[in-house]
Amino acid sequence: MTVPDVMMLFVTVLGGTAALLVVTSRNVVHSALYLVVALLAVAGAFLTLGAEFVAWAQVLVYVGAVVVLLLFGLMLTRAPIGPMAQGNELGRALPLAVSIALFAVLVTLIFQSFSGTTISLTHVSPAALGEVLYVAFALPFMALGLLLTLALIGAVVIARREEGEGPLPEPDEEPSDAAALREPTPSDVSTVPGRPAPSGEREVSA
Amino acid sequence: MSGAAWLVPVLPAASALVIMALGRKMPGGGAEIGILSLVVSFLLAVGVAIEVFGANVGATTAGEGTAFVHTAAFQLAPIGEGAAIDAGIRVDGLTAMMFLLVTFVSLMVHIYSLGYMHGEERFTWYYAVLSLFTAAMLLLSIADNLMLLLIGWELVGVCSFLLIGFWWESKHNSDAAIKAFLTTKSGDVGLMVGVVALFGQFRTFNIADIFAMVDEGVQAGGAPLSEGLLSFALIALILGVVGKSAQFPLHTWLPDAMAGPTPVSALIHAATMVTAGVFLVARLYPLYSATPAAQATLAVIGAITLLAAGLLALVQEDIKKVLAYSTVSQLGYMVAALGFSYTAGIFHLFTHGFFKALLFLGAGSIIHAAHSNNMRDMGGLAKVMPRTFGTFLVGTLALMAVPPLAGFWSKDEILVEAAAAGGYTGSLVLVLGAIGGLITVFYMTRLLYLVFAGEFRGHGHPHESPPSMTVPLLALAVPSALIGLANLPVAAFQPYAFSAWTMHSLEYWQTHPIEFNLPVAAVAVALAAAGFVAGRALYRSQPLDADDPMRKLGPATRVLEERYFLDHLWTDLITRYIVRDTAGPVAVAVNDRFIDRIVYWVGAGTGRFGQRLYDIFDQKGIDGALHAVATGTWWTTARVRLAQSGNVQLYAGAMLAGVVVLAVVFAAG
Amino acid sequence: MEAVYPLTFAALLFSIGAYGLLSRRNAVLVLMSLELMLAAVTINLVTFGAIAGDGLLTGQVFALFVMAIGAAEIGVGIAIILLIYRNRASVNIDDADLMRY
C-alpha cells in the first residue's frame, strides 16, 4: 500500500458514501450538498492520478458552478425543501437490480481486462496541458466554446418567461398526490401560456 | 478566368448568409448585397464564357484539339475502397452557358424584385433565399462529381420550397410548396438510385472519370462495360429529371408553384430548378449518347410532355398558369431534343431561359398593374403599359418561334434533328413538336388578345410599372430577340457558334453538325401562322370569359381543366390532399356512372356470396373467429402499449438493463 | 498504482448514479445523478489517458471536454425543468409523460 493507493481508497470510500447519500437522501438540499462532497472526492481522485488541472477544473466547474446552478434549480422550482416522499413509479427494486447488475458487470470486466495493468502517476502541469489544449486541440476547443455559447443562448430561450406570462405557479401541496396531474387538460398540452401559436402553423396531412 | 470560376456560386451563397445576418439593418433591406454579389458573379461568368469560347473556337477552327475543361478538386470525405467524395469544380462549355444564363436572369430578377416586392414584410428573407437559390443552381452547374451535383440539386429543391411557400399565411400557398417539394422528391428517388447505380458500376462519383471509363468501354476494375446496367442507371436518372423538370406525368407541381411571388416563378421557370433536370442529362450526355434506350426514353417523355402541357395551356384563365404550362411544354421540347442532339437540347434551354424570364417578369408587371392574375380582369393594357407590352410582345414572338427571334432557331433545330434521326421516336417528336408549335402560337395569341386588346375589364386604373421593373424587362428583351442568332445554322459560322462554345467533345461537334432544313422550317412557320390566324379570329373581338371558345369544347375542355385527372391521382396517392374545388363534374359523372356501379355490383355480389357462406358455415364459427381476432388484438395492444409509457426512467432503466445483458453476452461469447 | 483502483471507483460512482437516475422523482435530483455518472466517465478518461501515457494527454483533454459539455447540459437541463415546472406545476419526472401511448 503506497501513499497514492491509500489516497485512492480514501476518496473511493468518501465519494461512494457521499454519492449513495445523494441518491437516497430524503432532503433535496442535503442531496445537493452531498453532491459537493462526492464531486470533491472525484477531484481528489484526479489529483492522485496526477491530473492537477483537471482536478481544479472539476472543483471550479462542478463544485463551484454546477452545484450552485442545481441549487437554483431546486429553489426556482420550489421543490419541497424538507423531507419528501421517495420512490417513483418504478419503485425501488428495479433500479436497485439494474444498478447492482451494472456494477457487477463493470467490476468483472474491469478486473478481467485491467488487473495487472499499472499506471504511472506522473504529474502533469497545467502549463503542459495548456500547450496541448491550445495547439493540438485548438479547433475542438473553439468548437467547444461555440457549443457552450449556444447552450447558454438555448437555455435562456427555453427558460425565459414570455411577456404577459404570469408568475410561477404554486406547487401542488401534495407532491405524492400526482394522480390529479397525470391527465393533462387540453390547454396544458397545446399551448405554452402567453406564447401565441405561430400563425404559420397548419395541418400537414401528408 | 476559370481559375476564379468557383467564386461564381460562392458569392451568392456568401451574400445569402450576409443578408440573413445583417440584411434587416441595411438601408435597402439586404437587396443591395444580393444585387452586388450577382453583378460580380455575372461579370465573372462573362469572363469564364469568353475564355471557354476562345479555347473551343480554337479547337473547332483548327479541327483538332479537345473541348475546354477546367477541373480542380479537393477531397471532402473518404468513403472507403479508395473512393471519395470530392468538392471539385468542372468548368466547360455547358457550365459557362449555365453560368451566363443563371447569373443574368437571376440578376434581372433581383433588380425586378426591388419594385415588385417593395414593402413586403419578409423582404430581407426573400432576398436571402433568392441568393441561396441562385447559388444552389450555380453549384449544380459547376459540380464535377455526382454527389456535389446532388447536393446542389437538393438545395435547389429546398429553396424552391421556401420561395413557392413565401406567402405561407395562406394554406393554398403552403400546400403548393409542399406539393412541389414532395412531387420532385418522389422523382429524386430515381435520381438517387441512378447515382448509386453509377457509383456501383464505376466506383467513382467523378464525372470526368466516368466519361473516361465509358470511352474505353470499361467499368470499375477494368471489367468490360455492362450496357444494361448503364441503361438502367441512366433511365433511373431520368426519373429525377421527370420530377425536377416537370415532365409528364410529374408536371403537376409546376402550375401550382405559381403560388410563389412572380419574380420567383421567373427564376424557377427560366433559369433555375426546372432546367436542373435538363442540365443533368446534358452534363451526362456522353453517357446518354452511348445508350440508345435512355435516349429513346427521353424522346418519348419529352414528346408526350410538350403536347400534353401545350393543350393544358389552352384553357387556363390565370396568366401565370398559361405561362407555367407553356414552360412545361418547352421543357418537353428540351428533353425530347436531348433524345437526339446535345446542342439542340441545351440551345433551347438557353434561349428559353431568356424569353421565359422576360414573359414571367412581364406577367408580373401586368399583375402588378391589374391587381389580378385572372385574364378576365385584364384587357386593353397595351395602351397604358407600353413598355411592358413591347417587351412582352418580343418574348411572345420568341416563344411562338417567329423568325428570326430566339425561339425560332432553337425550336427549329429540334425539329430538324428529330427529322434527321428518323425512326419511330424521331417521327413522333417531329409530328408532335410541329403540332405543339401550332398550339403554342394559339394559346399565346389568345393570351395577347385577352390581356392587351380591347377595354380594361378589371377594377382601378392600371399604370406602367416603376423603372426597377421595366428596366429588367428591356434588358431581357434584347437577348430574347437576338440570342437565337448565336447558333445560326450556317456551316461557315458554326465553328464560332453556340454549338462550338458549349461542345462537350470536338468529335461530337464534328459528327453532329447543325443544319438548316428548309421544308421543316417552312412547315413550322406555316403551322405557326395558322395558329395565329385561328387565335386572332377567335379572340380578336370577344375576349370575354363566357364566350371563350376554349370553354365550349365539351368533354375536351373538362379533361383539360382537370389536367388529365393527374392531380387526383398524385394528390390522393402521394400527398393525399383532396382538392375539392377542382373535383369537376366529369369526376362526379365517372364516379356516379362507373365507380358507383362497380361498387354496387361488388357489394351485391359480396352480399350474395356472404349469404351462401352463412348458409354453409355455422354462424357461430365465423362470429367466434371475428370475436377472437378482435379480443386478441385488444389484449395484445393493451400489453404492447405499456412499453410506450412515456416514463423516461423506465426507458433509461430498460436501456441500462439492455447494456448489461449485451455486455454479459459479449463477455461470455 | 494498479489501474483497477480508479476504475472501480468510477464503476461505483456510475452505478450509484444509475440508481439515482432510475429511482428519484424530482427532475433536479435526476440531473444530479447524471452528474455523478459524468464524473465517473471523466475518471475513466483520465485513467485510460494515464495508462496510454501519450504525449498529447488525450485523456485529460477529453476529461476537460466532457466537463464543459456536462456544464452545458446542466444549463439546458435546468432550463427545460423550469419550463416544465412553469407549465405543469410539477418537477416530478414521471409526470412529464406526454409522449406516452
Of A11, A63, A76, the residue nearest A35 (C-alpha): A63
Of B372, B320, B313, B254, the residue nearest B561 (C-alpha): B313
For B377-388, what is the mean pLDDT? Answer: 79
Residue B457: what residue type? R
Q: Is B641 on the interface with C (CB under 8 A)?
A: yes
Is C92–A70 a contact, with Cβ atoms under 8 angstroms apart?
A: no
For B518-529, what is the mean pLDDT? Answer: 84
Is A90–B649 a contact, with Cβ atoms under 8 angstroms apart?
A: yes
Residue B209 CB burial class (10 angstroms; 0-12, 13-18, ≥19) = middle
Res. C45 pLDDT band, cuts 50 70 90: very high
Q: How many CB pairs under 8 A join B and C?
A: 31
Q: Is B621 on the interface with C (CB under 8 A)?
A: no
Is A112–B650 a contact, with Cβ atoms under 8 angstroms apart?
A: no
In degrees to the nearest 10, what's the CA dihedral of B36, B39, B45, B51?
-110
Res. A201 pLDDT band, cuts 50 70 90: very low
- Strand, coil or helix: what is B131? helix
Q: What does the pLDDT read at residue B616?
A: 61
Q: For B355-374, write each residue's pLDDT tens digit.
A: 888 888 888 888 888 877 77
Q: What does the pLDDT read at residue B573?
A: 47
CA distance B281 to B295: 10
Is A102–B660 a contact, with Cβ atoms under 8 angstroms apart?
A: yes
Average pLDDT, chain A: 77
Q: Is C41 on the interface with B (CB under 8 A)?
A: no
C-alpha cell at A99: 444498478
Residue B157: what residue type? G
Q: What does the pLDDT read at residue A105?
A: 92
Contact of B252 with B183, CB cutoff 8 Å: yes
Q: For B400-423, write each residue's pLDDT tens digit.
A: 888 778 888 888 888 888 888 878
C-alpha cell at B400: 411562338
Taking only Cα atoms into account, the Rg of chain C, rounded to an integer number of angstroms, comes to 17
C-alpha cell at B80: 472507403
Res. A181 pLDDT band, cuts 50 70 90: very low
Contact of B109 with B364, CB cutoff 8 Å: no
- B581 or B261, higher pLDDT: B261
Residue C14: what residue type? F
Torsional sign, CA B623, B625, B631, B637: negative
Q: Is it the case that residue A13 has pLDDT exceeding 80?
A: yes
Count Cβ neighbours within 10 Å for each residue of B49-60 and write b for 16 or more, e otherwise.
bebbbebbbebb
Res. B246 pLDDT band, cuts 50 70 90: confident
CA distance C81 to A77: 8
Q: Is it the case that residue A177 has pLDDT exceeding 80?
A: no
Q: Is it the case that residue B580 has pLDDT exceeding 70?
A: no
Q: For residue B178, give the nearest of A88, A90, A204 by CB distance.
A: A204
Res. A182 pLDDT band, cuts 50 70 90: very low
- Strand, coil or helix: what is B646? coil
Is C13–A19 a contact, with Cβ atoms under 8 angstroms apart?
A: yes
Residue B507 CB burial class (10 angstroms; 0-12, 13-18, ≥19) = exposed
Q: For B613-646, write each residue's pLDDT tens digit.
A: 666 665 556 566 777 778 888 888 877 777 777 7
Average pLDDT, chain B: 80
Q: What does the pLDDT read at residue B257?
A: 80
Contact of C6 with C49, CB cutoff 8 Å: no
Residue B249: what residue type? P
Q: What does the pLDDT read at residue A195?
A: 42
Is C23–A92 a contact, with Cβ atoms under 8 angstroms apart?
A: yes
Q: Is it the case that residue A183 has pLDDT exceeding 60?
A: no
- A197 or B100, higher pLDDT: B100
Contact of B331 with B244, CB cutoff 8 Å: no
Q: What does the pLDDT read at residue B556?
A: 62
Q: For B141-199, write each residue's pLDDT tens digit.
A: 888 888 888 888 888 888 888 888 888 777 777 778 887 888 888 888 888 888 888 88
Rama region for B221: left / alpha / beta (φ>0; ψ in -120 to 50; rest): left
Q: Is it the case that residue A42 has pLDDT exceeding 90?
A: yes
Res. A206 pLDDT band, cuts 50 70 90: very low
Size (chain B), residues: 669
Of C74, C27, C73, B648, the residue nearest A79 (C-alpha): C27
Q: What does the pLDDT read at residue B530?
A: 85
C-alpha cell at B651: 426507458
For cell 456544464, the residue is C71
Q: Is it the case that residue B564 has pLDDT exceeding 70?
A: no
Contact of B315 with B255, CB cutoff 8 Å: no
Q: For B36-45, write each residue's pLDDT tens digit.
A: 888 998 998 8
Of B584, C42, B654, the residue nearest A45 (C-alpha): C42
For cell 445483458, the residue is B661
For B271-279, what is the mean pLDDT? Answer: 84
Residues 6+ apart with CB under 8 A from A143: none
- Strand, coil or helix: what is C81? helix
Count Cβ neighbours within 10 Å for each residue of B314-340 and write b for 16 or more, e otherwise.
bbbbbbbbbbbbbbbbbbbbbbbbbbb
Is A102–B659 a contact, with Cβ atoms under 8 angstroms apart?
A: yes
Q: For A81-107, write each residue's pLDDT tens digit.
A: 555 555 566 678 888 999 999 999 999
Rama region for B385: left / alpha / beta (φ>0; ψ in -120 to 50; rest): beta
For cell 408568475, the residue is A167
CA distance A34 to A39: 9
Q: For A49-59, write each residue's pLDDT tens digit.
A: 989 899 999 99
Taking only Cα atoms into account, the Rg of chain A, rounded to an integer number of angstroms, comes to 23
Helices (H), A28-173: 28-48, 52-57, 67-76, 93-114, 126-135, 138-159
- Among all residues of chain B, which has the CA nearest to that of C21? B649
Taking only Cα atoms into account, the Rg of chain B, rounded to an integer number of angstroms, comes to 28
Q: Directed axis angle between helix C58-88 and helix A126-135, to 10°?
A: 80
Interface test with C, best of B637, B642, B648, B650 (most C CBs within 10 A): B648
CA distance B3 to B89: 10
Other beta carbons within 10 Å of A103: 19
For B335-348, what is the mean pLDDT? Answer: 87
Is B168–A95 a contact, with Cβ atoms under 8 angstroms apart?
A: no
For cell 459528327, the residue is B511
Contacts of A181 in chain B (CB under 8 A): none
Res. B1 pLDDT band, cuts 50 70 90: low
Q: Is it the case that residue B441 has pLDDT exceeding 70?
A: yes
Most confidently modeled range among A54-68, A191-205, B498-512:
A54-68
The distance between the two most distant Cα atoms of chain B, rounded to a whole number of Å, is 92
Contacts of A102 in chain C (CB under 8 A): 14-15, 18
Residue B191: what residue type? L
Res. C41 pLDDT band, cuts 50 70 90: very high
CA distance B473 to B360: 10
For B222-239, what is the mean pLDDT? Answer: 84
Prior bond of B249 cis (ω within 30°): yes
Distance from CA of A200 to the nearest CA of C (A): 23
CA distance B494 to B491: 5
For B119-128, what is the mean pLDDT? Answer: 81
Interface test with A, best of C32, C38, C47, C56 (most A CBs within 10 A): C32
Q: What does the pLDDT read at residue A197?
A: 41
Interface test with B, best of A23, A88, A98 (most B CBs within 10 A): A98
Contact of C6 with A49, CB cutoff 8 Å: yes
Contacts of B659 in chain A (CB under 8 A): 102
Contact of B408 with B401, CB cutoff 8 Å: yes
pLDDT > 90 in chain B, percent: 1
CA distance A198 to A190: 12
State how far Cα B380 lies from the chain centre.
32
C-alpha cell at A201: 402553423
Query: SS3 letters for B70-105?
Result: EEEEEEEEECCCCCEEEEEEEEEHHHHHHHHHHHHH
Contact of B513 with B394, CB cutoff 8 Å: no
Q: Is it the case that residue B64 has pLDDT exceeding 80?
A: no
Of A112, A171, B274, A124, the residue nearest C88 (C-alpha): A171
Res. B376 pLDDT band, cuts 50 70 90: confident
Q: Is it the case that residue B213 has pLDDT exceeding 70?
A: yes
Is C87–A154 a contact, with Cβ atoms under 8 angstroms apart?
A: no
Prior bond of B403 cis (ω within 30°): no
Q: What does the pLDDT read at residue C38?
A: 93
Q: How many CB pairs under 8 A join A and C?
A: 292
Res. A161 pLDDT band, cuts 50 70 90: confident
Q: Is it the case that residue B338 has pLDDT exceeding 70?
A: yes
Q: What does the pLDDT read at residue B582?
A: 46
For B491-495, what is the mean pLDDT? Answer: 78
